[in-house]
Structure 1
Amino acid sequence: MNQSTPRCGEKHPYTLEDLGWTDEHEKAFSKYAGPYLPGRVACRQKTVWDILVDGGSVTAGISGALRKLGRFPAVGDFVVLLHQPEAGTSMIVDILPQKTRFARGSTGRGGSDQVIAANIDTVFIVTAAGHDLNARRIERFLAIAHASGACPVIVINKSDLADDPATLADEIASASSGIPVIPISAVSGEGVDRLDPYLPPRTTIALIGSSGVGKSTLINRLMGRPVQETSHTRDYDDKGRHTTTVRQLFVLDGGALMIDNPGLREVGIGAASAGIADTFPEILELAEGCRFSDCRHEEEPGCAVRAAVADGTLPAARLGSFHRLVQELAFERDKAEIGLVRLEKKRWKAIGKIQRDIGKTKGR
């Protein structure tokens, strides 16, 4: 674990309530009696997890049952530990229900969603003044954030490098209707206090954004000390390397909990179908006036959305972004279905081989 959080086996002053434990978690845990402890996942270290418990921390693996089911705890999950200190072992045997689930679409063959973090209250979408300040990229992050059930906040870092910091929010206004947009400088600290209303005690915030936008620098600023490695960005494209390589939960001095994430090289939209409506609310509202309920807002007659583009009410770029994300979602769904078909074919091929081997054995 990072030096900013209690090392495994060390004591800390936090109670489960400080870590975000609620009555719902208590109710879910009440069925366990005996040598079981609740805790919250702070970090994953390859095949083991660092868990914060009441007043301390432990390292634990997961049970064979969870592994067989493919249920792997994410950072932020509340889990049930089979705690046997006399034997010096702890094992995660269950994952308690998740309030929210932040995921991104996998770019792998299976197309399944990858959980990034769980039980998040707010998502800070961190971008930066310069090349990274792109409304289309922010729309992708917003769709995924909305789908998680958490509340998004857009943080524009490196605002001190902009020619006119006051106009930064205007550059992404088309993508951020109704979403708080806060320009800051994590290096100088300018504007960082404007994040305070979103950092109350016992709430959990996840940071996402491209590499090089200053997420680690922001963590260091909020923690009041250097706890994350940072790196310089390249001058020609403002990009940086991934200095954060694991997801980790930090406890801020004010009592909020924050999860840092490695920069996302490829943000799939596969997890975000439920978030598209919240990302493009004006398009969904206009769509109620379309002649056909299944209108795709392309070439159909009587499309109220395209009519709004024609009369200038809706920016054409906004509709273009909507189409791109919907098409990408459809592609990833098709990819996932193809992956499942391939897996099913492999399964039946394996079953057939086993049956043939059994037949050969019987014939001997």
Structure 2
Amino acid sequence: MNMNSNQSERLQQYGWNDYWASCLKEEMIQSGLVPARIIAQFTNQYRIITPDGESAAEVSGKFQFHALARSDYPGVGDWVAVQPLPGEARAIIHAVLPRRSAMIRKAAGSVPEEQVIGANLDTLFIVNALNDDFNVRKIERYLITAWESGATPVVLLTKADLCEDTGSRIAAVAAAAPGAAVHAVSALQDEGKEALEPYMLPGRTLAVTGSSGVGKSTLLNWLAGDNLQQVQGIREQDARGRHTTTHRELFPLPCGAVMMDTPGMRELQLWESSIGRQEAFADIEEIAALCRFRDCTHDAEDGCAIKQAIEEGTLDARRLGNYKKTGRELAHQARKEQSISNRQKKSSNKRLTGRFSAKDRKSIEMD
């Protein structure tokens, strides 16, 4: 589509480039659809940025009919094709352009279902505070999801001004985050911002994620040089924060990048993260390859390289425990998902075979 300079600049401010232009199909353009990016989400309503500015949006009835899963719906950061409604500050979303990356977690509830936290992210800042809520095991869980997303994970240790031994904690996180950069920052003292500049390039999309009270909104305001998000203090009795951000939203930064803030999560529920788990625990995977037996459980077997590494002090036993725990969690989820899928398939077959004769049903069952 042809856009004037103001329209093009408006979208480029949120990451639009030649790659995304190539994803907009010709038939979409011929149908009068225009590109837009999801910049905020509120239940089933969206706020988008279009070539003509911000507007509200919702998905079309046809989109809802064809969506098979919750993750098929747009998420914050998605580029979409929309039909602006004449004379209204609203648009209808008809399609989601192919995602380059997506941070996904298990949605709340008993039914296994994936939830898109953010899409088309280049860098994912995993934020953990250097106060009494500091937790390496929690960082490992976020790293699993980060590596699985396709974005580059970077661990940010905030509130460095509250820690008397920053160096040892950086070392502990670095040992638990192979392949990921680790930085300590203090928004209060205005320290560490220069280390983040290589990630904050024009056109790049960043996201911050972590538990409540780790300083995500403060970090965003600090990097933006403006009070974009309200911030609250932490509870003195347990050093844990109160919820500040209640929804996901994209904010343009002065540097030309855009950043997404996310609501705090007490616990990140993993979703189909086998590759991400291998990346997050790459050191354990590498040591395990040296075990005498391929099916080693790393408990009491002779020739277990993992057990030897723990005894020699080169591997933290707590890290191994989290490796096993996340493995069991993902395996349990996979079994649960398969069980539900089998029941749905069985129910579908019953409805299908009820329409045929006994001879036809026997043929279907044999197939």
* TM surpasses 0.5: yes
Using the TM superposition, give the Cα deviation of residue 186 of structure 1 relative to its aligned residue in structure 2, in angstroms: 1.9
CA distance in 2, matches of 1:109, 1:260: 27
Q: Is the 8 A contact 1:25 1:97 kept in 2?
A: no
CA distance in 1, matches of 2:188, 2:294: 50
SS in 1 for 2:154: strand
Partner of 1:216: 217
Structural mapping, 1:41-80, within 5 Å: 41-68=38-65, 69=67, 70=69, 71-80=72-81
Partner of 1:27: 22
Does residue 283 in structure 1 map to residue 301 in structure 2?
no
Partner of 1:256: 257
Partner of 1:362: none
Could you list the runs of 5+ residues in structure 1 that have no partner in the other structure? 1-10, 356-364
Aligned pair in 2 of structure 1 residues 343, 157: CA closer, same or farther (>3 Å)? Answer: same
Percent identical residues: 38
CA distance in 2, matches of 1:64, 1:101: 24
Aligned pair in 2 of structure 1 residues 53, 89: CA closer, same or farther (>3 Å)? Answer: closer
Q: Is the 8 A contact 2:243 2:263 kept in 1?
A: yes
Paired AA for residue 18 in structure 1: Q
SS in 1 for 2:335: helix
Paired AA for residue 27 in structure 1: S
Partner of 2:294: 293
Could you list the runs of 5+ residues in structure 2 that have no partner in the other structure? 1-5, 356-367
Aligned pair in 2 of structure 1 residues 99, 158: CA closer, same or farther (>3 Å)? Answer: same
Q: Is the 8 A contact 2:245 2:264 kept in 1?
A: yes
CA distance in 1, matches of 2:300, 2:332: 20
CA distance in 2, matches of 1:235, 1:339: 44
Using the TM superposition, give the Cα deviation of residue 333 of structure 1 relative to its aligned residue in structure 2, in angstroms: 1.9
Using the TM superposition, give the Cα deviation of residue 346 of structure 1 relative to its aligned residue in structure 2, in angstroms: 6.6
Structural mapping, 1:1-364, within 5 Å: 14-31=9-26, 32=28, 33-68=30-65, 69=67, 70=69, 71-85=72-86, 89-341=90-342, 343=344, 351=351
Aligned pair in 2 of structure 1 residues 118, 162: CA closer, same or farther (>3 Å)? Answer: same
CA distance in 2, matches of 1:95, 1:158: 38
SS in 2 for 1:44: strand
SS in 2 for 1:16: helix
Paired AA for residue 50 in structure 1: R
Q: Deviations over 1:296-338 (max 9, x none)?
A: 4334444332333333332322222211111111122223234
Residues 131-140 or 24-33, more deviating: 24-33
CA distance in 2, matches of 1:194, 1:91: 41
Paired AA for residue 93 in structure 1: H
CA distance in 2, matches of 1:269, 1:89: 35
SS in 1 for 2:75: coil
Using the TM superposition, give the Cα deviation of residue 53 of structure 1 relative to its aligned residue in structure 2, in angstroms: 1.7
Paired AA for residue 64 in structure 1: G
Q: Is the 8 A contact 2:105 2:117 kept in 1?
A: yes
CA distance in 1, matches of 2:48, 2:148: 26
CA distance in 2, matches of 1:256, 1:87: 29
Using the TM superposition, give the Cα deviation of residue 341 of structure 1 relative to its aligned residue in structure 2, in angstroms: 4.6
Q: Is the 8 A contact 2:125 2:207 kept in 1?
A: yes
Aligned pair in 2 of structure 1 residues 238, 271: CA closer, same or farther (>3 Å)? Answer: farther
Paired AA for residue 43 in structure 1: A
Aligned pair in 2 of structure 1 residues 331, 219: CA closer, same or farther (>3 Å)? Answer: same
SS in 2 for 1:244: coil
Using the TM superposition, give the Cα deviation of residue 193 of structure 1 relative to its aligned residue in structure 2, in angstroms: 2.9
Aligned residues: 343
Paired AA for residue 316 in structure 1: A
Using the TM superposition, give the Cα deviation of residue 291 of structure 1 relative to its aligned residue in structure 2, in angstroms: 3.5
Paired AA for residue 122 in structure 1: T
Q: Is the 8 A contact 1:107 1:266 kept in 2?
A: no
Residues 300-309 or 245-254, more deviating: 300-309
Q: Deviations over 1:69-102 (max 9, x none)?
A: 1421000000000234257752100000000011
SS in 1 for 2:157: strand
Using the TM superposition, give the Cα deviation of residue 109 of structure 1 relative to its aligned residue in structure 2, in angstroms: 1.4
Using the TM superposition, give the Cα deviation of residue 342 of structure 1 relative to its aligned residue in structure 2, in angstroms: 5.3
Using the TM superposition, give the Cα deviation of residue 124 of structure 1 relative to its aligned residue in structure 2, in angstroms: 0.5
Q: Is the 8 A contact 2:178 2:283 kept in 1?
A: no
Q: Is the 8 A contact 1:41 1:50 kept in 2?
A: yes
SS in 2 for 1:116: strand
Partner of 1:4: none
Paired AA for residue 304 in structure 1: A
Residues 169-178 or 144-153, more deviating: 169-178
Aligned pair in 2 of structure 1 residues 106, 162: CA closer, same or farther (>3 Å)? Answer: same
Q: Is the 8 A contact 1:14 1:55 kept in 2?
A: no
SS in 2 for 1:188: coil
CA distance in 2, matches of 1:295, 1:149: 30
Q: Is the 8 A contact 2:107 2:269 kept in 1?
A: yes
- Please provide the CA RMSD for this pair: 2.4
Residues 229-238 or 266-275, more deviating: 266-275
